Structure 1
């Protein structure tokens, strides 16, 4: 008999609410060290599944009696088997993680950021297992989506719940760490797909050119999404100032770090573009703008309400990447502190260009692993 399951949504709520949970992760040690469900309020034990095939008796004294225990594996099969073995030993606080880490990678949690000045709302979609952030701007029956993931049904269904039509879909840049759902979402909804042309020189599809100074109105309440050319992560990276309140920085600036310039093999060439964007273009903007990035690196970047957001002025004071006066020191910091490349990043870039079209299962495999868009 199958044991009880926790869904990715239920676990995400526990992470955001800082609830206690004991994780028994039965993947290999390398897989666990590379990427896991993260929360400061969780306890962890990593015992590979193959070490438990002869029985779970030896780990019973390492498991708590006063906390729920969530057994985690890659896809949800091994966790069921280990969970059943634990229940046979008399444990009653066991759950299997439904869908495993693949489900964790794909879960999106929509959170309202705030109301907008002239009516309308702004939502952030937190892809908690992958560190991706995407957005929906809603006004007077219309919506725009920024940096959509490949789980396009989530945005379409959410727009339907709100009773709005998605008219515009934007990508701040050509993504390399995850597969964009922007083009597919635009096709699904009949919206316009916008992409910076300097990132689109090799794409195989038609798109609207997102260029510096572009204004796009969503609804009748005139929410302007102003394009701000901000190269550095990619040569075409473009930021948005939304409703004169929010700066959507893509993968240029994060809450606790800055973007990496090497995912197209151009770190040495693009590092000073990155510096000019951060130290010149962004310095000219209002300190009161609230930065909404396309990724977060660590769970500490989440606010109490689950959103990832902070005023630009605060980041200029607190983000180390914005406080390196010497250009040579900045170049060294950016080029010598790069994390490993994202899994399958070249294939992901080719997918986002439309050059290859992997099936759904292949796309899942390509995206498995942590977010690696930032300089450490």
Structure 2
């Protein structure tokens, strides 16, 4: 019997940059759209149906004594292929438990910093989706920012740290993944915060996330000032924690900038995006550490697995911040838009509370890479 590998084990390998060989047996179109990536990860795609009559051809591509991890969509086909490979004489084969579906849902917590008052800030890296969420802890309280729908992970982490989640915050109405913010607030009897300009069509009660309305966690003040920062959405609001950490949502990333079109209003919102990036953020301290809500490239992961950069450095090297001409910027943003995220309209409706898909349907809606960025 082949050995199974958990997503947690694979995540540690990716973050630690350990040499890893993956055999992905999904169809080529699925593989081309979305795959496991990492600095030291090599991936071979050989569709499952090509292996039904035998795996002999794999020995031409893979040393039989080499460690290999077999991956499929949900974990069934990969286990069968792994067992066939063992019968063929491959000696070090693993299958990934739960396949790409499980990989999509794995969150890896990484400590960003100790805060001034003795609190701490953590980033949760969703390696299979490129989503980043955060937990700020102070004394016996916590706030979670841009939570994914796998709320049990945040609850278990808070329990481990001995804190109660008092606030959940969405920097904007998400369109590429289903937010867990409202559900997490309900489960922990906390307060859910959402920018009101993104909440015109929501079907639930929320606390407005607005400039001047500071949110206190324990003895830490999470300042929501002065950063109404539209562009990705009309309500996008950035957050400053501890006067040191700038949570930019989907407005500014380490190697790219946010796309303004996921509500169908690219031409209307591109001006807001430029104003935020070239004026509002420009007025802030260069020393602020930017913590975005997504990343697009494996190389954005730091040595500890976190995604972050100083604001001043980004003004030197992020191509999206280098376009002085306003018309050129508008062209860059509207001409370089990637494909829309899978089912983004239904994801928006779910996050508005207009529809409530079953959990399995929510998983299907989120399959695929994040596509929140514009790359120059």
- TM-score past 0.5 threshold: yes
Task: Tell me what 1:371 maps to.
Answer: 370
Instruction: For residue 213 of structure 1, report the CA deviation from its aligned partner.
Output: 2.1
Counterpart CA distance in 1 for 2:316 and 2:64 is 45
Task: Tell me what 1:300 maps to.
Answer: 299
Native 8 Å contact 1:251 1:373 kept in 2: yes
Counterpart CA distance in 2 for 1:283 and 1:66 is 54
Instruction: For residue 44 of structure 1, report the CA deviation from its aligned partner.
Output: 1.8
Task: Tell me what 1:134 maps to.
Answer: 133
374 and 327 in structure 1: CA distance in 2 versus 1, 3 angstrom threshold: same
What secondary structure sits across from 2:240 in the alignment? strand
Deviation readout 1:11-32 (Å, 9 max, x if unpaired): 1111111111111110011111
55 and 281 in structure 1: CA distance in 2 versus 1, 3 angstrom threshold: same
Task: Tell me what 2:78 maps to.
Answer: 79
Task: Tell me what 1:238 maps to.
Answer: 237
Q: Is the counterpart of residue 196 in structure 1 residue 166 in structure 2?
A: no
Instruction: For residue 119 of structure 1, report the CA deviation from its aligned partner.
Output: 1.2
Deviation readout 1:312-367 (Å, 9 max, x if unpaired): 00000010001100001100000000110000000000000000000110000000
What secondary structure sits across from 2:118 in the alignment? coil
Counterpart CA distance in 1 for 2:299 and 2:169 is 27
Task: Tell me what 2:224 maps to.
Answer: 226
After superposition, residues 318-337 of structure 1 pair within 5 angstroms as 318-337=317-336
What secondary structure sits across from 2:157 in the alignment? helix
Native 8 Å contact 1:198 1:235 kept in 2: yes
Deviation readout 1:198-235 (Å, 9 max, x if unpaired): 0000000000011122211110x232332410000000
Counterpart CA distance in 2 for 1:47 and 1:259 is 34
Counterpart CA distance in 2 for 1:310 and 1:125 is 16
What secondary structure sits across from 2:171 in the alignment? coil
Range with bigger deviation, 12-21 or 170-179: 12-21
Native 8 Å contact 2:341 2:370 kept in 1: yes
Native 8 Å contact 1:145 1:170 kept in 2: yes
Q: TM-score with structure 2 length normalisation?
A: 0.98
283 and 67 in structure 1: CA distance in 2 versus 1, 3 angstrom threshold: same
Q: Is the counterpart of residue 41 in structure 1 residue 36 in structure 2?
A: no
Instruction: For residue 66 of structure 1, report the CA deviation from its aligned partner.
Output: 4.9
Task: Tell me what 2:104 maps to.
Answer: 105
Task: Tell me what 2:341 maps to.
Answer: 342
Counterpart CA distance in 2 for 1:35 and 1:350 is 24
Native 8 Å contact 1:139 1:223 kept in 2: no
Instruction: For residue 181 of structure 1, report the CA deviation from its aligned partner.
Output: 0.1
Task: Tell me what 1:94 maps to.
Answer: 93
What secondary structure sits across from 2:38 in the alignment? coil
Native 8 Å contact 1:126 1:133 kept in 2: yes
Task: Tell me what 1:254 maps to.
Answer: 253
Task: Tell me what 1:314 maps to.
Answer: 313
Task: Tell me what 1:288 maps to.
Answer: 287
After superposition, residues 58-73 of structure 1 pair within 5 angstroms as 58-73=57-72
What secondary structure sits across from 2:280 in the alignment? helix
What secondary structure sits across from 1:284 in the alignment? coil
Instruction: For residue 148 of structure 1, report the CA deviation from its aligned partner.
Output: 0.2
67 and 40 in structure 1: CA distance in 2 versus 1, 3 angstrom threshold: farther
Counterpart CA distance in 2 for 1:198 and 1:282 is 20
Native 8 Å contact 2:119 2:220 kept in 1: no
Counterpart CA distance in 2 for 1:346 and 1:28 is 26
What secondary structure sits across from 1:203 in the alignment? coil
After superposition, residues 149-168 of structure 1 pair within 5 angstroms as 149-168=148-167
Native 8 Å contact 1:20 1:67 kept in 2: no
What secondary structure sits across from 1:51 in the alignment? helix
Instruction: For residue 372 of structure 1, report the CA deviation from its aligned partner.
Output: 0.4
What secondary structure sits across from 1:134 in the alignment? strand
Task: Tell me what 1:122 maps to.
Answer: 121
Identify unmatched segments of 5+ residues in structure 2: none
What secondary structure sits across from 2:346 in the alignment? helix
| C-alpha RMSD over aligned residues | 0.8
